[in-house]
Amino acid sequence: MKSKSMWFVVIVFLVFLFLRCNTPPDPKYVKDGKQYGVVQGLFRERWWNFYERGVSFSDGAFWQEAAADFKEALRQRDRDQRRARTYGMHFTDYFPHRDLGVAYYHLGRYDEARQELETSLSMVDTGKAKFYLNKVRKALLEQSQTDAAPPSITVAAASSGQVTNSFTMTLQGEVEDDSYAHTITINEDPMFVELSAKKIPFSKKIKLKKGLNEINIQTADLLGKVAQKQVKVFADFEGPLLNIKNYVDGQQVTANRVVLNGALADATGITSLKINDQLLAYNKEREVEFVFAVELQEGRNMIALAATDGAGNTTTGQLNLIYVPRLASWPGVREASGKQSEPIRLALYGSGILDTGQHRLFASMAKANPRSSFRLKLKDLADTQTVYYETMYIDGSVTGTQDVQAVTINGEPLVIIPGRTIYFNQIIQLQEGENKLTVAVEDAGGKTTSRSVTIVREVPKVHQVGSRMSIAILPFETVGQTSSVAEIMYDNLVSSFLAQNRFNIVSRGNELEAVLREQKLSATDLVDKSAAVKVGKIVAAEAVLMGTIRETANSVEIYARLINTETSALFDAKDVYGQDKSFAQLQYLTDGLALKFMHGFPLIEGMVIKISGKNIYADFGTVQHIKKDMKFIVFREGQPIVHPVTGRMLGSETLQLGVATVVNVFEDMSVGTLYADFDPGAIKVKDLIITK
């Protein structure tokens, strides 16, 4: 009898489950033919069942029912968490506080919504919680009408009204609002701001053009009140133009005392002129004429000139005058003066000493071949050479007997005062690889000449993108509504990571197709972490970026995970959320996601502070966002590279000493273990370190 009773109970229970699982859909939860308030499998009244059904109700905008399910889920498990374990080896992303806050927002229960969303963010940082917290704050402000004024913009003193000779500047400041500042745009480029705040600091690297740069900053608060500010920065890449009017380089004179008549010109104003050991100070006048007497010794006299402007650029030159006391008594010879009609001579610095050939010999050469009157040299610069700098100074001079009317560098005219001897200086920015440079001159008679040189810029290996952490960006899983948005988001994400120049992207998009075909894998197979790690190892990636794009009718959310291919451990995870599916907004979201990962894996340089066996101690730690399993390169600056002819310092290559994996991290220190194929004995304290 007892056995029959037990079987009866089992049968009744199974019938109950069957009837429960096959209960016809409630028509009031059907929209556009889709049933909401459903779960996959049996509803066992566990926390994950209530949460899953609540999410389904939310997707159908049944907010009362959704809120009830989220509250019941919270009663059983009161903590938001990614990959919360349900049963066995099953996991789910669990955000009951966040999603309850969203439901409360739609129900108009704003205070409760704010509390739930803030609780969720205290547990897990998610873009969706921040998005809705902004909406809740806005709704509360509209109710209270306490937002009285637009935000204010404060720019760091060093960023405003400055004159610089740098090609870039870092604009820093802060926006502040009596309630909540929400957006910041610099030169129409929106900064990534997820969560409104009463104070939001900003920092942006700005590329400067020659001359006046007007940088426009705009901010708005949650209610749309707008404030604007303009910062003006003058970029001056030219040193002062220095003109000697009455003497030419290499000229022979009969007097032991000469008076130099000259002029200076500069867009940012002249601060000083040094002639030999005498310093003349100026008050940033843009044009200056000067008269200066110089005592000469018999023979060649080198007069050193150096003019400095308000941006810190300095133009240097050397005027060589040859004092020959007996010259006046020689038959048929008279001293050269600034009024003689002589051929022009162009001398661009070579060894640092301008040509001092005999004046009469130079004149006879010019008569035989008028174009030979132009001679171009660049100070300490050969026709072709390799440097390791991002920028370099181009120093030159023009000397002639007719006024020089124009000097151009790569077609861009320099601002000059016409004259017979002109010294000039300009900073140029070098791109990686070959840089062609052409200097051209024209005199008052219309004669022209030019000279071209090639400067090859090499980036030291440890600073190249190829030496940084290599990652493969895998196709993302798509969940929910299917549209072209997922494909656009993936392409945008790849371009966002490439634009950051932080990681070495070894494989993405089409590059992965051949690997997937060879491994007989589909994009959906890559949802499995082990398959993703396998693909990452095949393409020699140190990490793989994988994740999910979840789209609904009115929202899109991207969740990305960076997985270590050596250990299969999670490096980091980030997400973004938005409800605007315009192309510009989708790009904004992917740029923000890439920025989050860049901040999570900063490119930092440091120093070796201790060596213990294969353990290398570095002077950066959690304060700089260093994480366990990150890698860093130990290197040393090589010997300075000097040009064998010109003697110019060209920079230095770097010597890589080892690569280490971070095994322990402290607040301001981290410990890395050196790879086995590197010798710790080659590393010294004070050697340099850069994160991969």
CA distances from 529 to 114, 497, 521 (A): 35, 21, 13
What is the domain range of residue 401? 241-458
CA distances from 196 to 171, 332, 488 (A): 21, 86, 27
> Which whole number is the average pLDDT over 37-59?
93
Label each residue of 574-620 as H, E or C. Answer: EEEEECCCCHHHHHHHHHHHHHHHHHHCCCCEEEEEEEECCEEEECC
| Most confident of the ranges 8-22, 241-255, 283-297, 387-401 | 283-297
> Which whole number is the average pLDDT over 385-392?
87
Q: What is the dihedral of CA 181, 81, 128, 501, to 10 degrees?
A: 80
User: How many distinct structural domains can be found in the chain?
Assistant: 5
More confident residue, 440 or 645: 440
pLDDT of residue 337: 42
Residue 21 located in a structural domain: no
Give yes or no: residues 611 and 594 share one domain: no
Contact 402, 444 (CB under 8 A): yes
The DSSP code for 150 is -
Using CA atoms, how far apart are residues 544 and 107, in angstroms rounded to an integer? 41
Give yes or no: residues 223 and 297 share one domain: no
Quickly count: other Cβ atoms within 10 Å of residue 352's Cβ. Answer: 14
Confidence band, pLDDT 50/70/90 cuts, at residue 518: confident
> Which whole number is the average pLDDT over 537-554?
91
Helices (H), 273-327: none
Confidence band, pLDDT 50/70/90 cuts, at residue 123: very high
DSSP 357-407: --HHHHHHHHHH-GGGGB---BTTB-SEEEE--SEEEEEEEEEEEEEEEEE
Q: Identify the three-state secondary structure at position 286.
A: strand
CATH of the domain at 673: 2.40.10.410
Q: Among 208, 235, 262, give the residue marking a domain's end.
A: 235
Give yes or no: residues 558 and 621 share one domain: no
Give yes or no: residues 81 and 168 share one domain: no
Confidence band, pLDDT 50/70/90 cuts, at residue 31: confident
More confident residue, 377 or 465: 465
Give yes or no: residues 157 and 203 share one domain: yes
Give yes or no: residues 505 and 450 share one domain: no
Give the closest residue to 687 by CA, choosing from 658, 647, 666.
Answer: 658
Q: Among 203, 235, 267, give the residue marking a domain's end.
A: 235
Residue 22 located in a structural domain: no
CATH of the domain at 407: 2.60.40.10
CATH of the domain at 550: 3.40.50.10610
pLDDT of residue 133: 98
Give yes or no: residues 216 and 292 share one domain: no
Residue 4 located in a structural domain: no
Locus of tokens 């705040």 = 197
Give yes or no: residues 413 and 562 share one domain: no
Token duo for residue 662: 């971070």
Residue 337 located in a structural domain: yes
pLDDT of residue 201: 95
Residue 360 located in a structural domain: yes
The DSSP code for 474 is P
Q: Identify the three-state secondary structure at position 63.
A: helix
Residue 15 located in a structural domain: no
Residue 18 located in a structural domain: no
Give residue 92's identity as a one-letter amino acid code: T
Token duo for residue 658: 């080892």
Is residue 368 over pLDDT 80? no
Q: Identify the three-state secondary structure at position 23.
A: coil
pLDDT of residue 388: 87
Q: Among 144, 161, 181, give the residue marking a domain's end.
A: 144
Give yes or no: residues 249 and 327 share one domain: yes
Give yes or no: residues 107 and 172 share one domain: no
> Which whole number is the average pLDDT over 504-517?
79
Residue 186 located in a structural domain: yes
Is residue 561 over pLDDT 60? yes
Report the chain's mean pLDDT, rounded to a whole number. Answer: 85
Q: Identify the three-state secondary structure at position 595.
A: helix
Is residue 338 over pLDDT 50? no
Q: In this prediction, what percent of the chain has a pLDDT beyond 90?
A: 58
Give yes or no: residues 377 and 497 share one domain: no
> Which whole number is the average pLDDT over 541-565?
92
Using CA atoms, how far apart are residues 403 and 339, in angstroms rounded to an integer? 11
- Judged by average pLDDT, the poorest of 43-47, 413-417, 648-652 is 648-652
Using CA atoms, how far apart are residues 425 and 316, in angstroms rounded to an integer? 8
> Which whole number is the average pLDDT over 341-356?
33
Strand-pair partners of 478 = 549
Q: In this prediction, what percent of the chain has a pLDDT beyond 70?
A: 86
Instruction: Indicate whether this model's pTM tops 0.85.
Output: no
CATH of the domain at 103: 1.25.40.10
> Which whole number is the average pLDDT over 406-426?
86
Give yes or no: residues 370 and 256 share one domain: yes
Is residue 598 over pLDDT 70? yes
